[in-house]
Structures are given as structure tokens and as C-alpha cells.
Amino acid sequence: MRRHDSAVAEEQRFLDIATAQRDRLAAHLAAELAVPAEDATERARHRRLRRQYEELPADGLVFGRLDGRDGTVLHVGRAGIRDEDENADPLVIDWRAPAARPFYTATPVDRQGQARRRHVRTDGPVVVGVDDEPLDGTSTGDLVGEGALLSALNERRTGTMSTAISTLQREQDDIIRAEATGPLIVQGGPGTGKTVVALHRVAYLLFTHRRMAEQAVLVLGPSVRFLTYIAQVLPALGETAVVSATCDTLLPGAQVERTESRRVAEIKGRAAWQPALEAHVRSLLPRARELTLRWEGEAYVIGADVVAQMLASAVPGRSYHRARTAFAEQLFQVLAEAVAEQRAALLDEMEEGFEEILARFDRGGRPDGVRDGRSGSDVDGLMSEEEIEELRERIASHEVIGRFVESVWPTRDPADVLRYFLKNPAFLSAGEAALVAAEPGTWASSDLPLLDAVADLLGSVASPAAQGEFIADRARSQRDWVYGHVVIDEAQELSEMQWQMVLRRCPSRSITAVGDIDQAEAAHRHTSWAQAVHATLGDRWTAAELTICYRTPREVMALTGPVLERAGSRNSPPRAVRSSGIAPWERFAIADRLTDAAVEAVEELRKRWEGGTVGVVAPVARIDALLPVLEGVPVLTATQAKGLEWDAALVVDEAGIAAEPRGWNGLYVALTRCTQELGRLHVS
């Protein structure tokens, strides 16, 4: 005990030193930021200083220590803290730095030069405990810092996710630090830390690849509720160059207005829509034909062959509206040159028969042959290049010419184009086309990826610069923003057309997708990752797997085998490494008494887990009856509960959940939301 007290006191002394240095750095940065930035260079410097200021943590300053076999000591924290002596080694190393990696990966078998790992537990500025892990033994256990990890897992849930940088495990750290050179798809069952890995990978990538912060990172989640749950993690890690969204909120200016049948959602989610929409937008392009324009009372004819050349130059590689702009610019130039040529021809006609008289004049000079340096139509009637360019600008801004261009190549609204196409999607079978055509004109969830595709194919009529002081604000407001990296949580739910939405925003394919294919409940028919991504990624993706369940107790995971079997799973469930000591329990109630029984069970759970959280998962058909009587408690469908966790969970009417579409997958989700206690309320 005395040794433990001594270690706590030792770490408290160090934490006090680190805290004082952090405060000095914060004061220095605040003073620098208080000086107004007067030019672009100073504004760029301010952005760097602001990032440094934001990265200074309010807590979690130090959470670990590595004692090297050579006697070196490194302290690991949420952010790097340099020593007051700038020539000295850092006082605290950032958890993302290469030097910190042994804190997560060293084992007694693979010591990586380390003699001991110490987890430091703090409460604000106070060290409340340490867990020492010697690395000179022969243990091959799965867990790094087992005491600290299990202590964190046994804490009450607060309803929001916190960081886990002090308790990351080796297989998690391997994925967090993996290269971001292409799509990485991470399969992980319940409680394996998929979301933790995804978010900490964002923080790691932004730290390691500073230029990525200039493009921002997109985090896609399954629901707004889920995004609220994880909202504090990245800011706590000092990262702000992040845009969080769902597929339903990703397209600026569009929103889901109605629900739809699973059958129609499955049809609209197929990859075949992409080439069909591309063909439809191509069909809207003008065809080569002779064009007649009027300028200042004169008619000018542009032949069909010239128009064909203009189209061939304008269209390839451009969206509909950008091609329209390129075509219009060529048209303005051709018309300006035609006007100049016609003027020259008229001048030649007028001069015919007066050659001898005109020969006495030196074009560009006076009758006596003295040149005055002038040129252009004022001198010889021929327009100079400058005059032709001035004419082209007048043509381009002329209202009548603008209306002519609009008649030849009209601007298009993505919503109108898509609504027209949905009325006759000829590439579908007759029965499927009829189902789609019968849908109302408002948007359902599966329409938004199609609308996004059309908006991309049409392109913007104009591309205004994105507004906002912060990079995330600018990225969020601009549909065609290109992100440095995209993270997708619950990626198994994405349709093929939603994957297309992702690729448009990250053409580099720097993507991390995490999920559990066995928890898939979406309308698509994919039962493996290969099926889910083949249409968009082909075989060009890397697979990784999280195999250890940290959150869900063994007692609960023992129930999932038969459920996975009924769901048609091809995967082995993750191996639970902790026990809550509480066996799942069951109760039965007749249908008329089900809500009363649910209220009674929830009240018991809330008393047992006071200070923590309790959640209820039920079939869609039961939600409306349960919500009014269970105020203050999350009452969710299995789909809505995905990604969330509570200390205790009550699953109401398992049979009803299993009877829903892909219901066994949903039941797998429902059973695995708790960290401590699971109750099951059946309908008898």
C-alpha cells in the first residue's frame, strides 16, 4: 500500500509541474492571439496558434508513463507539452506521437525496449490512482493496462461518449495508426470499440498529416442521436477540423420529408442508378445544329459543324453546367470574331474601286505618310485584338445573348431533373419502375443519394467561395467540398448509392469504415462486406477486424450465438473479456400489461444504476405505447439504438423485434447495448 501511495505522490508532483507548464503555454498563446492579424500571413499564423491553443487539454493532461529498460522515463498525455527549456525533451509526449506507441502495444513478449507501463488515473488536477504493469514477465494476456481498462469499463455511463486514449488496446491502436492510403474497412462486433477506434483514428490522422486539417475530415454516423452521443470526443482531443453528418444531412439544402417502404428503399439504393442518371443527364445536352444569333441588328449564322466542334471541346470531363459555361464562352468568342470578319468584309466592299486613292494613304498614318502609332477600326476599319476582346465582353454580358444561350442550353435544377427521371426510370423492370413512379414528389431517405448524384452531374451554375472562419464551417456548407479523409460509423447500413455520396466527397478514397455486418438492418440485401462495397470499391480495399468485446459482459454475449445463427452470420462473435457478475434475467407479461411491466422493470433498473443510464429497446410497433410512460428514458428501436450503450438495458418483446425485417440482426443489436445488466421482457 505504501508503495502505491508513493507512486501516486510521485505522479502528483509530475502532474503539478505539467499543469503549471500547460498554463504558461496557454497564457503565452492567448497573448499572441490577442494581437490583431493584419494580413494573410498573420492570419495563417493565428490559425496555427489557435490550433495549438485548442489542443492544450483542460484535463487528462497526463494518463500514462513508460519506463524504458535504459532508464528513460516518458509521460504520455492527451497533447504534447514542451519543457520550459526549449532544448530539453518534451515534458509530455502526445499519445499520437510515434514515441508513445509502446504505451499501447508493448507486451511482456514484445517489450519494445520498455520495462514498465504505468496508467495514471486523475480527477481533474488530482492523481487518484496508478496501475503498474511490469513488462519483464512472460504473460501473454490480451489486455494492455487491464486494471485501468476494467476500471473505465465499470464506470457509470453518462449518456455521452468520452475519450479512451488512456485505455486503447493493441488491436485498436494498430487500426488507429494504419496508413490512410485507401479504403480500410473494420469489422467489429458489439463492444469492440469500433466508434472509439474511428474517432481516435481521426485525431491521429489530423495530428500525423497536418495538411489533412486544411481539407477537414468528414465523420458519417447512423443518426443525429448517435452524433450527439459522440460529439464531445474529438473536441476533447483538440480536433475541430471535422464535419459530422448523416447521409440524410450531408446534402446542403435537402432534407428527408417522408418515410418509404423497404422495397422502394432497396430499389433506390442500388448502384445501377449511377450510370442511369449519368445517361439521363447526358441526354439533356444540346445537339449540334446551326445557330443564328442577332447582334446590333445583324444576323450571324454559326454552322452546325462549328457548333459540333464547340460541344466536343466543352463537354468532356465537365459537369452539365460547367460544360454550358465553357460552350457559352466559345460562343461569345465565335460571335465576336464573326462580327469583326463581317465588318472587314463590308470595308472591303466599300473600298472596291477606290484602290488608287486609298493607296495614297498609309494605313495607320496620315496622307503625308507620317505614322501616328494608331491602329484598329478608327484607323483602318479592322478591329484590333483588344477591340475584339472588348466586344466579346459586351456580348457575354448582354441580356439578349444570355437569353439565347439559355434557350440553347438551359440551366437545370437537380430536384426537377430527378423528379422527371423518377417518373420513368426505364432501366428498371416494369414492376420496379411502377413502384418508384408511384412515390410522391417529396424526398425520402433513399432519394437524397440520387439527388446528390444529379447535383454532381449537373454541377453548380456558379461556384461561390465557401464562407466561414473555420474550415469545418466552409466544408459543411459546400456540396462539392473534397475532404482529406472520411470516417463512416455503422458502415454496414450504407446503400451502394450512399457509398457513391462518400466517394464524391473523397475521390482519393482515404476512407475508414467501421461496422458490424451482422448488425445490418438496412433495406439492401448485403450479408458480407465484399457484397456491400464491391459496386463502388471493387476489390481495392483493406480489411481489418476487432475481435475482443470490452463493453458487453460475458453473461450477455453468451446469449448471442443462437441469434447470430438465425441472422445467417458468417462471422465469429467477438470474445468478451469481462464479466459483470449479473446474469441476464427474463420476465413475462400479457400484452395488456406490457407497458406496466416495462415501467416497473425500468424503475428497478434506475434505482440499481443511479448515476448511470438505462435504455429500452423495443419493436417499432411498441414504441408509441412505451414513450409516454417511460419519460426520461431512451425508448428506441433496434435501428435507433445502434452504436449507443447504457449501464442497463431492457429489451421489450424480443419476438416482435425478431419478426421485423432483418429482425434477428436487430435483436443482436438490442441484446448488446448494456455494459452491466440486461433485462428481457417477453409477451406471454
Q: What is the pLDDT of residues 85-97, one digit of tens each?
A: 777 889 999 888 9
Residues forming beta bridges with residue 293, ordered by sequence position: 300
Nearest residue to 218 via CA among 244, 180, 179, 249: 244
Nearest 5°: CA angle at 515, between 512 and 516? 150
- Using DSSP, state whether 93 is helix, strand or coil: strand
The residues facing 129 across adjacent strands are 121
> For residue 516, what pLDDT is reported?
93
Tens of pLDDT, residues 397-415: 999 999 999 999 999 999 9
Mean pLDDT of 44-57: 78
Distance CA 53, CA 34 (A): 12
Rounded CA separation 320/411 (Å): 9
- Express each pLDDT in 238-290 by its tens digit: 677 889 999 999 999 999 999 999 999 999 999 999 999 999 999 999 999 99
Q: Which of 104-113, 216-225, 649-658 has the lowest mean pLDDT?
A: 104-113
Closest CA to 556 of 621, 646, 624: 646
In the chain the domains, ranked by start, together with CATH numbers, are 2-141 (no CATH), 194-281+416-549 (3.40.50), 285-362+379-411 (no CATH), 554-683 (3.40.50.300)
pLDDT above 90 (res 196) = no
**Three-state secondary-structure class, residue 30:** helix
Dihedral sign of CA atoms 198, 199, 200, 202 in order: positive
Q: pLDDT value at position 124?
A: 84
Q: Whose CA is closest to 680, among 613, 605, 577, 607?
A: 605
- Segment 550-566, tens digit of pLDDT: 889 999 999 999 999 99
User: Regarding predicted confidence, which is higher, 213 or 157?
Assistant: 213
How high is the pLDDT of residue 48? 78
With cut-offs at 50, 70 and 90, classify the pLDDT of residue 317. very high
Q: Phi/psi of residue 627, each to 5°?
A: -55, -45
Classify residue 3 by burial, with Cβ atoms within 10 Å: 0-12, 13-18, 19+.
exposed
Q: With 90 as the cut, is the pLDDT of residue 310 above it?
A: yes
What local confidence, expressed as pLDDT, does residue 358 receive?
47
Residue 508 CB neighbours (<10 A): 15
Can you tell me the mean pLDDT for 373-388?
A: 66
CA distance 65 to 81: 14
Choose among 153, 139, 241: nearest CA to 193: 153
CA-CA distance, 83 to 80, in Å (whole number)? 10
110: cell is 514484445
- Asked whether residue 502 carries a pLDDT value surpassing 80, the answer given is yes
| Mean pLDDT value across residues 495-521 | 95
pLDDT in tens, 476-496: 889 999 999 999 999 999 999
pLDDT computed for residue 473 by the predictor: 86
